[in-house]
Amino acid sequence: MAIKKSNRFPQTEAIKQILKRCSSFGKKQGYDDVPKGHFVVYVGENRSRYIVPISWLTHPEFQNLLQRAEEEFGFNHDMGLTIPCEEVIFRSLTAMIR
């Protein structure tokens, strides 16, 4: 019986890649307003920009959003991290995380 090799990264490695992409995207776009320990995500149909703390990467609900983002958009692009949900839902979720 062959063992199926998963192409998914371990959680820690995925988080490192997300942070690397988010921080390099912000520098390319000239954003200087992102405080240390935070990163930018884009949410909703209008791609509204939100600055969120890195600590949220370990929260289970935020990880669900990241998983959906990976499935829908992937993480291998230069458009920044886009979260596939409505802004109202994102704001409700982030209010619970704080």
- Mean pLDDT, the chain, as a whole number? 76
Q: Which domain holds residue 75?
A: 33-97
- The reply to whether 8 falls in a domain is no
Q: Is residue 19 part of a domain?
A: no
Convert the pLDDT of each residue in 62-96 to its tens digit: 888 888 888 887 776 666 788 889 999 999 998 98
* Maximum Cα interatomic distance, the chain, rounded to a whole number of Å: 53
Please tell me the total count of domains within the chain.
Answer: 1
Q: Which helix H or strand E contains 52, and what residues bound it?
A: strand 48-53
pLDDT-based confidence at residue 5 (cuts at 50, 70, 90): very low
pLDDT reading at 27 higher than 70: no
Contacts of 8 (CB under 8 A, 6+ apart): 14
Rg (CA), the chain: 14
Express as a percent the part of the chain with pLDDT over 90. Answer: 20
